[in-house]
Structures are given as structure tokens and as C-alpha cells.
Structure 1
């Protein structure tokens, strides 16, 4: 688990037990953009629904090009995490895939990239930015990204639906 392993030596030094993640290891994330929810699955069971996710400034339709401010749609994976993000932690989504690149290249455009699941901007002391405001990422609360950080390993599939 990403967060627990990173701080385990410090916790042992301080005599604290490793904190348990708030839910089991997640093996599938399913996002329903129109409903603004993220479903977290483990062993074919729905273990948590995160409501009120925030999307790109142009939330309707799939991401096609750099700068379109849309959140991708399709099947990707969580492939790495950034503990030093400009937001309260972030998990990278493997957009663009081969089909996304081909679509953009056929139109002589860049598909963009650096799409993340992340918390709120640093320095906001847990205050949520209202509405859809990202450049195509999926934003959740700081508490929610901390839970995801612990429970979502690299390689976890994410299905983003309209």
C-alpha cells in the first residue's frame, strides 16, 4: 500500500502501529462522469462510492485534445502516484492510450496527458473548490485522495464512462 509503506519506518520508530486503510485494496475504479461518482471495487464487490467528484471545465464528452479541458472516457490504469503534487496527492491515469493518440494525430493535434485523480489544491486547508474546475483530471476531497492513496496500487484498472 503506497502511503503505509512510505511512512512505515517512521511509524515503527514512533512506536505506532501501521494504520489500516479505510477499505480493502481496490482492484477496479469505475467513474460515471454524468452522475459525478467514483465506484471502488475489490474482489468483484463494490466497497465504496465517492460522490461529488469534480471533472474538467468541459465535462461532457471524451477528452480528445490537449487543452480541451475534458476528462477522458475509456479504460485506462492507475500507473503511478505523485506525493509532491500541486494538489493534495495525485494518482496518474494512463491517458492517452493508443486509440487516443491515433485520434489526435489523425487531426494533427496533441492528445494531451498528465490526467490524474487528485485532491484539492495545496494551501486551501481542506476547502473544496466549487464545481468542475480541473483541466481534465478527476478531483476528490483531500480525505478521499488519502484513502485512495493507501488502497489503490499501481496497475489498477480505471473505467471512465460518460
Structure 2
């Protein structure tokens, strides 16, 4: 009996913690303001894509060259995502290529998740991606790889992704609701849209930097998997720090 009760208790505790997270977020003035200004729009945006506004998952894909953040969503239980909306970066820094040390002004490239939410951010509202991940740590400066990479409001950056206050209000409402539904929200960041043509252009432009083009070759399978199936690839990191797609379809 105890063996049966323990998973149930843990599940109830998890649901309670997630609901507490959402209610705590709504207690902050900026989140309240976002809900007042953008709540109805965000709900209608989801409904227009046949997404249940109370139970959904979110997926974010950022493309540095295009300065675009794609937002995808799906109903809980569905396999495939639908394209919900794009947001433009309102500022950028650095150049194509991954982040490797603190202060290099680079926006990371790779496969990440949201690991923190800041409703009192210096940049209005923000949420953090989990850079450095295990791949980054294989190649980044061992003493100071950098960190605190956020997607946020305002229009300033030294490596983060700024969208402006209007956009971040919408996106923040989406991500906190998805988080409250139990999702670990993935964020994939690429140097550019990695179509075969774009990838060939990148390899040609950066032919003198083979380590960089090799790194991008690790990102392309994950990029292409989502392009083909509209499902999030299962990414693993091998002992050398390379990204590999575990699922074949």
C-alpha cells in the first residue's frame, strides 16, 4: 500500500508546486499588467491555432542571422507543434558561432531549456536559458564560461535575446502557463535557418574556421528533424560534447 501511495503523493505535490508557481507569478505587478494588456490576445492566439489555452506546450526556436524567435505550440498529448507566431530581436550582439566565455558578447547556439523566470527583471520581464549546458562546458572557458543568458524585454543586449516590452509581455504569459502545466520548455538557438542551401553558404563563408562549421554540423540534424516532423528532437550530448539526435522520427 505504501508503495502505491508514494507516487500519488509525489504527483499531487508536483501539481501543487506548479499551481503555486503560476499564482506566485501572477502576484507580481508586471505580470498582472501583462495579463491585463495581453491576456485576451494570447488566449485568442492559442484558440486560433486550435490550442487549448489552459493545457499546452511551447517550443522556441531562435535564429541569429534572421534575428527571429519562432514560437510553436501544441495541445497536451499531441505529438506535433503548430507555428504560433514570430518575434523579431530588437537588438543583437556578437557574431555567428557559439558562446565560449564571459564577456564575449555572444548569444549561445545549441539546445537549451528555460530554467528561471524573472518577473522583476531589469529588462521588464525575462526568462533564462540553461547556458552553459554539458556541451558548452566541453568547449567554453573552464574558469569563466559566462551565463545569465535571458530572453527579455527592452532593446539592449550583450549576448541575450531582447524582444522589447510589448513582445515579452505576450511571450512571458505563454511560457509561465506552459511551465505551470508541467513542461520543461525547450529553446533551440541556431546561427541561421539551417536549410541545405543556407548551411552550404555558411560552410563556404566560414571555410577557414573548420571548428565552427563542424559545430554547426552538430546542430543541423536537430534543426532538420523539427523541420520535417514538427516534433522536438530528443537530443543527447556525447562524451566529446557533440549534439546527437536520438530519435529517428
Partner SS, residue 144 of structure 1: helix
The answer as to whether partners of 2:111 and 2:189 remain within 8 angstroms in 1 is: yes
**1:39 maps onto 2:70 in alignment:** yes
- 1:67 Cα deviation after fit: 0.7
Normalising by structure 1, report the TM-score: 0.76
**1:141 maps onto 2:164 in alignment:** yes
1:11 paired residue number: none
Larger gyration radius, structure 1 or structure 2: 2
Summarize deviations over 1:3-51 as a string: whole Å, max 9, x none: 896149xxxxxxx9x9435133552000111001010000210010112
Runs (4+) of structure 1 exceeding 6 A deviation are none
Alignment of 1:19-98 (within 5 A): 19-20=39-40, 22=42, 23-24=45-46, 25-43=56-74, 44-56=81-93, 58-98=94-134
* Structure 1 pair 19–49 and aligned structure 2 pair: CA distance change class (3 A): closer
1:118 paired residue number: 152
**In structure 1, C-alpha distance between the alignment counterparts of 2:186 and 2:119, rounded to whole Å:** 20
Q: Size of the alignment, in residue pairs?
A: 140
The answer as to whether partners of 2:39 and 2:170 remain within 8 angstroms in 1 is: no
Say which structure is richer in helix. Answer: 2
**In structure 1, C-alpha distance between the alignment counterparts of 2:109 and 2:91, rounded to whole Å:** 14
Aligned residue among 139, 151, 157 for 2:186: 157
1:101 paired residue number: 137
* Structure 1 pair 139–26 and aligned structure 2 pair: CA distance change class (3 A): farther
**In structure 1, C-alpha distance between the alignment counterparts of 2:124 and 2:86, rounded to whole Å:** 20
Mean Cα deviation higher: 152-161 or 67-76 = 152-161
Summarize deviations over 1:46-72 as a string: whole Å, max 9, x none: 01011244323x132211111101000
Question: Which structure is higher in RCO with an 8 Å CA cutoff and minimum separation 6?
Answer: 1
Q: What's the Cα RMSD here?
A: 2.6
